[in-house]
Structure 1
Amino acid sequence: MAGNKAVVYSKPGSVEIRDTDYPELVLKDGPGVNPLNVGRKCEHGVILKVVTTNICGSDQHMVRGRTTAPSGLILGHEITGEVIEVGRDVEFIKKGDLVSVPFNIACGRCRSCRERNTNVCLNVNPDRPGSAYGYVDMGGWVGGQSEYVMVPYADFQLLKFPDKDKAMEKILDLTMLSDIFPTGYHGAVSAGVRPGSTVYVAGAGPVGLAAAHSAQLLGAAVVIVGDLNAERLAQAKSFGCETVNLRENADLAGQIDQILGSPEVDSAIDCVGFEAHGHGKAHGEAPATVLNSIMEVTRAGGSLGIPGLYVTGDPGAVDEDSKIGTLKIRFGLGWAKSHTFVTGQTPVMKYNRDLMMAILSGRAQIAKAVNATLISLAEAPQAYQEFDRGVSLKFVIDPHGLVK
């Protein structure tokens, strides 16, 4: 039987490449696997030969030690692959299909899935609604930063690319369909972005850049991206965004006013999450900063899309409240301005097929927007270190050297 190398979280600040078990159509015991999920049979699933799998900022939270992730957890929830084995109960997905895997694991049978809320499937995580591959407190489904991975509920979940050869030509774009492109797009949609609107995107990491590109696709007149990282802001500017450097100038509303002639925008998107820092040169970690600032700069009646990750357990938080996800948010301000807040995991299946067509038609240029950069599996530990230092790259792992 074939082996399987994978990217494994070992300790805070460190990942390793380890030899792991070749996947089977059953969820076995291992680091992070919920005891109630051990032994779960997945004849409705498939085994994939991973073609591309991406490093995500959400992975980085775990690697920094900012979650309760256990040592030995196999990472990776952004997966694109070729089907090499199908379970007994799989009817429509076939061997040889090239597919995108939504990062949400969803059964297709529960009330949430039937209502297209695949981000909060009720049947895949015994602890809470919603699940994901290779992620802490998400049921223990094994991650896909590996050579091979098992994917359950294949007929329901997998997005098959219609032409394998053409898909491989655009694989650096299509690999973003598993998470950050739908996540950025969901942030923009839930923030009410529409033709002619003005939008502020907090954070110029890959998800923020995806949200900015999505806002452009939705017809926004002006997209403003804010960050503390000049390199990432330069990347946002490269595809037509306005930018504000919050390290050099802490006055967000004033900088927006200089761009728009008004200190407020129609919509705002939080693509930072719980490791947010305050603004200015002497900034420190302040997890409620982004949520409070987007309420400040969004007009009355506007909407806030919040795809940025917030957690219920953060052992490295700056205070005791933040360690359990309790943040000092000016909710009264949001209430007074009649803001709409949309939070949580993105329901990837609500958007991925349309975004696939936008990529295949040439309408969307997501790989260019996020600066997709191909690496080997062996280079993943170094890439994690570079990403943690703030490089403006979206690392795409090619475990088998299949991408030209």
Structure 2
Amino acid sequence: MTSTTSNASTARNVPPFPPELWLKIFSLATDVPGLLSCDGPTPSDLPLSLVKEHEHGLLKESLITKRNIVLVSRTWHALATEFLYRSVLVTHPATLSSLLATLNSRPSGAALSAHVGWWTRRLDVLMQDDRCEATDYALLANIIRRFPNLSIVNLSMPMLPYNDCWLRQLPQSVVMALAESCGPSLRVFDCSESILRPCREDLMTLIAAAPNLSVLRCPICSPSAGDKSPSARLDVPVMTKLQSVSLMSVFLRDYLPDDRNANHFPALRKLTYDCIPPPFLDHTWKHFVKLSCANVTTVHLDYSLQADSLQKELDLLGECCSSLNDLVIYIRSWTEIKPNLTLPPSVSYLGLHSKLREAPAFHFKQLFAALRTISGSKLNTVRLLHADTVEDLRENHRSLLESELADSASSITFRIEDHEGHLLLA
């Protein structure tokens, strides 16, 4: 009897668990490494669409854990709310009203930090499968205004009903909400996967309000019905913190400053672009790359829309980007990698990605034929980037892989790696 009483007394007198330790536990339980960094959870050389698909899967898994934690008790809810709203994922227009109502709620007399939107650092709006009404975008703009500390914004938006299929303009209210509410904190703005895009003037207003922007992915601006003449357009701001930009040479005009000889991207280190330069823009594109990309160390080149001019792009990079170390090329199939390619002399790493996942044997034969004749004075690594390609080679073309690597042993001086950085045939 005495022992039972003693044990009960001890249980009642256990000191409370310090809130600081609970916060640390919640942080570890809900964290996705790199989720709030500019490069994502794990920096990847895969095409951006695949990277974002992976990120959204991680976001959803993390949100399930966060929701389970805040439902345990009132104490846990109070402690874990900041983790629940640190990243916000919107996938359906129907959730916008309830999200705004939550963001507007705050206990009477509470401090600014009691607004749950104060904690939000990342916003992903992924609504590809639903048509949004104008009222939905108005709600989204109001939601963004509740996020004063946003750092990362990813938008993938459907068209407005009856919107001109060419204009495809992201409503100005959404862009202005970003500029006015969280411009100084914004580090990443990405609408590369979106049907709706800012018009050029709205985008210039946004980046002028975001002096700390590090990553900009808006390769296509939407024309607007009231587009101004070139002499009246806003000038491109000097972006001293911008390290990564995605462009399309055919839409380069949107990013050209009034002074064509001025470098407005002095900190640029990574360039992503689609290889579709028409002849009438060749000189302008080359001048821009030479001026603004001289210190670029990484280039991701999408070669999906051209047939026979890859060497021309490699020559351009070799001439203009003397600091280039990592080159990643996305192609439709391995047959687009031709023999006797000459890489920029500074490149030591070449990543290759084919959009054709299961290729016939002769595609792989052509790939290895090209690798046997490729020239690159500093090249030490070639990596096949997609796991499906590696699995296809190892499972369905094993004998071909062994034969090709044996034939290449005397002519290839660089490593050929799988998607994880291991030797393709260990």
Instruction: Compute the TM-score of the two structures, normalised by the length of structure 2.
Output: 0.27
Greater share of strand? 1
Greater share of helix? 2
User: Which has the larger Rg?
Assistant: 2
